[in-house]
Amino acid sequence: MGKIKILLVDDEREEREGISWLIEKYQYPLEIMQASNGKEALQWIEKTKINILFTDVKMPIMNGLELAKKVYETKPEIKIIIFSAYGEFSYAKQALEANAVSYLLKPIEIEEFQKVMVSVIESVQKENEEGERLQTAEVQNRRNLLYKIFSSAKIETEEAEKAEQILNLGTGKHCRILDIEFTENFFEEHEEIFLQFLKMYLGENTSYLEMYPNEAYVMVRDARFFTGNELEKQVQKILRDLQVKTRSEAAVIISEVVENAEKLEKQLEQMHQIQAELFGYGNQIVSTRGYYSETELYAQDAERAARQMMQALESMDTELIARQNEQLMKVVASLDKISKIYLQNLLYSIIKAIYDKVPKIEFEEALALAEALFRAKSLKNMMEVYEQAVEKMLSFIQGEDQDESRIIQKIKNLIEKEYAKDISLNYVAENVNLTPAYVSYIFKKETGQTLVKYVTDIKMMKARKMLEEGTLKIVQVAKTCGYENQSYFNRLFKNYYGVTPKQLREKL
């Protein structure tokens, strides 16, 4: 909390300096400003947040009582102290009408001065603390509403107006949204550099909401990025620089322009759908604008060939599968135009269907090819990767199946046992003897959530239980749950439960 500001108003400089000397002598936590008349005082009040007005009555241009009345009308929160050599009842009565908290007579009695100052300062401090508490609560309520909306892609009718206000939407006020998801707990270690690149490439008028240690939503409000593909270009630069600096990769989903709550809900719903279908990371950028677009780039022949390929997979007949796959390859090669994103997802759906039919331990080997599909720079490279994947998987159709549920249970047991460690995707993969890509895929497929989110959920539940038991200090709870950064743990806990660890303890 900053110093309380007091404005001393008197046409005699000696009087102002005398009050200043008393304030400094008794070491009151006040920042002092001075004015020689009411008009000058009003100018101070307009440009500076004043907490206490200490004014004489008799002054040229505008006297103290006129000043006090104007201040009370425009800034009723300012505490007014009037002092004067005139002790007539009429002045005191007018001071009361101006809502003055005290009326002091010249020459000032030290005891009375101290009593008034202590009382006024305590009153201001109490109001400031209450204001900060309400402001903090309002900020948290706003964040909680955004967490709810962005995680569920659902906006209740009574929440729409509030959501638009928080996101600064409405007439002439638009934004585009980025959903950025990293493979690891990126924000716990690299938040500062992430914000640096956001500012560098997307400008000052950008904000972000961290959902999980590996995922955040970014709101871009610069009109330069509302049309064309300039936003995609800048996001590509961010991912490039982040990979160089942190060796991290991410998948980014970009919304269309959002003007109101209704459009926000539709875009979030579409982004969630893409997020569920998106495969791998590899610094992918997908826009809702072109995802599964039903335009001239949509190829009905390719769709028909893909369905026939799916039917062949159901038959488990390797000859039929090879024949239908060859047909699909010819159809794709004959197309003049086709959406890269559409084709990637079309081929991925076939690869996933084949994965469901092959031994899952071999599925792990082919997973890298499926991920390479999304990294392919040209149609030729994409089809080469796809063909390799099909050939590899066909050779294992008769193999022995591996129970995915057993792997998932083993992973859950590991997390339950070692939640105090920094559990990364690579760490889990090493402990179950599988590749990180395969672990990430089957965990999300079987549980409906990413490994990072599951680990975070477990850590937060453990932390709350320890805090409720009350045997460990908060810093010990954080370290026990694998968080060396105390401030980050406090913020993450508050995101989950709406209160800080300390506030939870106080409630208990």
Please report, rounded to a whole number, the percentage of residues in the chain having pLDDT higher than 70. Answer: 87
Q: Is residue 431 a part of any domain in this protein?
A: yes
Model pLDDT, residue 295:
39
474 shares a domain with 367: no
User: Looking at residues 70-92, what average pLDDT do you find?
Assistant: 79
CATH for 497:
1.10.10.60
Model pLDDT, residue 401:
38
Q: Is residue 137 a part of any domain in this protein?
A: no
Domain boundary among 372, 394, 416: 394
Q: Say yes or no to pLDDT of 161 above 70.
A: yes
183 shares a domain with 77: no
Query: Among 83-97, 145-159, 199-213, whose mean pLDDT is lowest?
Result: 83-97
Collapsing DSSP states into helix, strand and coil, what is residue 93?
Answer: helix
71 shares a domain with 35: yes
Q: Could you tell me the residue range of the domain that residue 192 belongs to?
A: 158-287
Q: Is residue 145 a part of any domain in this protein?
A: no
71 shares a domain with 15: yes
Q: Which residues contact 382 (CB under 8 A, 6 or more apart)?
A: 340, 343, 344, 347, 373, 376
454 shares a domain with 373: no
User: Looking at residues 64-92, what average pLDDT do you find?
Assistant: 81
304 shares a domain with 283: no
Q: Say yes or no to pLDDT of 14 above 80.
A: yes
260 shares a domain with 177: yes
CATH for 222:
3.30.70.270
Collapsing DSSP states into helix, strand and coil, what is residue 191?
Answer: helix
Q: Report the 10 Å Cβ neighbour count for 79.
A: 22
Specify the DSSP class assigned to residue 470: T
Sign of the Cα torsion 375, 378, 382, 388 reads negative
122 shares a domain with 10: yes
Model pLDDT, residue 316:
67
283 shares a domain with 166: yes
Domain boundary among 287, 313, 343: 287
389 shares a domain with 336: yes
What is the tens place of the pLDDT at every residue in 237-266? 999 999 999 988 888 999 999 999 999 999
Confidence of residue 293 (pLDDT cuts 50, 70, 90): very low
75 shares a domain with 22: yes
* Element counts in the chain: helices (H) and strands (E): 21, 10
Q: Which residues contact 47 (CB under 8 A, 6 or more apart)?
A: none
Q: Which helix (H) or strand (E) holds 437?
A: helix 436-447
Please report the DSSP string for 370-400 in residue order: HHHHHH-SSHHHHHHHHHHHHHHHHTTTTS-
Model pLDDT, residue 364:
63
Hunting for tokens 């039919």 — which residue is that?
357
Q: Report the 10 Å Cβ neighbour count for 306.
A: 21
Q: Is residue 151 a part of any domain in this protein?
A: no
Hunting for tokens 């585009």 — which residue is that?
176
Domain boundary among 287, 322, 346: 287
Specify the DSSP class assigned to residue 108: P
Model pLDDT, residue 351:
79
